[in-house]
Amino acid sequence: MKIPTRGWFWARTLCWSAKGLPLLLHGPIGYKIRLVECGWLRSRTVSEMSYLQYVKKINEFVWEIPAGVREGMRVSGIIFANRRLLEAADRDRALEQVVNVSFLPGIVRASLAMPDIHWGYGFPIGGVAAIDVQEGVVSPGGVGYDISCGVRLVKTNLDRSEVAPRMEELLANLSATVPKGLGTRGRLVLSRKEIEEIMKKGVPALLAKGVGWEEDLQFIEEEGAYPGADPSKVSERAFQRGKDQVGTLGSGNHFLEIQEVEQVYSDKAKTLGLFPGQIVVMIHSGSRGMGHQICTDYIKRMGEKLAKYHIDLPDRQLVCAPVDSPEGRDYMAAMACASNFALANREAMTQWVREGFERVFHAGAKKLGMELLYDISHNVAKLETHEVNGKSVKLLVHRKGATRAFPGSRSETPQPYREVGQPVIIPGDMGRYSYVLVGTEESLKMSFGSTCHGAGRTMSRSAAKKSIKGNELKERLQGAGILVDAATLSGLAEEAPEAYKDVSEIVEICEGAGLSERVARARPLAVLKG
């Protein structure tokens, strides 16, 4: 049985306004509400249809939605999950988005979803799509609004016994040092020319100003600079939104955590410089207002050109343009600018963290062993070469809420890690664990070298704020030995541990499926939230 692509029958549609308020609208399926196209509303058709009846079990951790389920699917959908998470994704309508992505021109092998999958804009969060650059498209929804949102882990040679007596002082120092919260300005005062240099050259442009360490570059994806960036493809509005935000944490799910390495799983931890009891610092942030505006700009521009390229989509949120078109090339150049901005943003915050540790421990950051383990993005589209049907093919791999996980055999993996594989930094929630993984050879065959990016939400932010009180959550976390400094208590409630899946289950599935391998687990000791 095939499910119709669209039908002109009436259905209820549940929408969220810009303020997060639920609205119930009525209209025919396939009808596009103008406010949705403008980004003011996010719509989901409420129906009884479930994709579970069409799913085929490949093994315990791999499931397939065959390409014949819906007319217009170019490839099958592959979901890496256990049965429980698969059912949750179906209830969330994320499986429908996996199917929708399979309609994109040029997609190869499969539309993929990681176990932390949940509903997103067009693409599910946790989605991966590899597009043949000769025949296919680039879709801003396949990258997301927070372009190059990512995670980095900074090591120290300190153990918990050395840090615990100074933890409150350290957190207070970092809170005063690292700007956080919605719309916060950074410490760096940069001219337009300097911002454009960061957009073009990434971290090296920041190093030229004396911020950051030269030795960090080999441990940053793309060595700190995405190629092809062109600031002229970034709107004035995007520039204005980002110009004061280099070195800022932001809000939402972004955080800075002081963590303790609680467990190591293999000798690969030694190669990565990790040991039990070690204090590490995890930073999670992205391209801030600049990346959001770039996504907004190009969704609108590409949406106006769909008819020109005769692209028919099951969901307007999948707006796209051929990779080698004016719109596609311009978006790629602007996306690279936002990616470089995000890398520089995290590098600047690393500088502030190092300075904070120096003040508290009265020693230089290098003496404290504050080396960068790795920095990896999980919202980006990258040009990569992969084997497809026995041939080496240039692909544009969209990873939205998914992380590159290459083995040591790939040239993209830093030389010091060639024996163990590229590190993958996986944040959990502020009450449980985070992980360090490494990529595998098997991941190249199964997922274009991709794995999960975190725990994945189970509760919306608005629902979390309604059911959880920020002050009670803070007390609960502190009772568990986790210090918290948050810009707002409502923002803290949005990111409560119960709003997320258990990241341990997520990484176990990824390991069971062969996408990545666990190396170490860390638990939070102190949390700085925007």
Q: Where are the domains of the chain?
A: 10-142, 150-458+500-529
Among 80-89, 378-387, 462-471, the least confident range: 462-471
Q: Please compute the mean of the pLDDT values over residues 252-276 and round it to a whole number.
A: 97
* Strand order across the 10-16 sheet: 22-28, 10-16, 42-45
Q: Is the pLDDT of residue 42 over 70?
A: no
CA distance 524 to 435: 11
Question: Which pairing describes strands 110-118 and 76-80: parallel, antiparallel, or unpaired?
Answer: parallel
Is residue 261 within 8 A of residue 404, CB to CB? The reply is no
**Is a pLDDT exceeding 60 seen at residue 27?**
no
What is d(CA 451, CA 519) in angstroms, rounded to the nearest whole number? 14
CA distance linking residue 81 with residue 455, whole number of Å: 12
Q: 483 or 252: which carries more pLDDT confidence?
A: 483
Token pair in block for residue 25: 């609208």
Q: What whole-number percentage of the chain has pLDDT above 90?
A: 88
What's the rounded mean pLDDT across residues 127-141? Answer: 97
pLDDT in tens, 153-167: 999 999 999 999 999
Of the candidate ranges 12-26, 134-148, 297-311, 456-470, the one whose mean pLDDT is the lowest: 12-26
CA 113/CA 183 separation, integer angstroms = 32
What pLDDT is attached to residue 526? 98
Q: How high is the pLDDT of residue 34? A: 30
Look at residue 15 and tell me whether its pLDDT is greater than 60: no
What does residue 194 show for φ and ψ, rounded to 5 degrees?
-70, -40
The dotted CATH code for 150-458+500-529 is 3.90.1860.10
Q: Where residue 40 falls among pLDDT bands split at 50, 70, 90? A: very low
CA dist 421 and 435 (Å) reads: 15
SS3 state at 296:
helix
The predicted pLDDT at position 31 comes to 31
**Residue of higher predicted confidence among 27 and 449:** 449
In tens, the pLDDT along 345-359 reads: 999 999 999 999 999
Q: How far is residue 68 from each of residues 105, 123, 204, measured CA to CA in Å?
A: 16, 20, 48
CA-CA distance, 413 to 347, in Å (whole number)?
A: 19
CB atoms < 10 A from the CB of 523, how many? 18
- Give the residue-averaged pLDDT of 96-112: 98
Supply the mean pLDDT for the chain: 91
**CB under 8 Å to 518, separation ≥6 — which residues?**
265, 266, 435, 436, 437, 507, 508, 511
Model confidence at 487, in pLDDT bands (50, 70, 90)?
confident
With 80 as the cut, is the pLDDT of residue 386 above it? yes
pLDDT at res. 425? 98
Task: Give per-residue burial for 178-196: e unless 16+ CB within 10 Å, then b.
Answer: bbbbeebebbbebeeebbb
Residue type, 22: P
Catalytic residues: 453
**How many C-beta atoms lie closer than 10 Å to residue 7's C-beta?**
11
Nearest-angstrom CA–CA distance, 345 and 361: 25
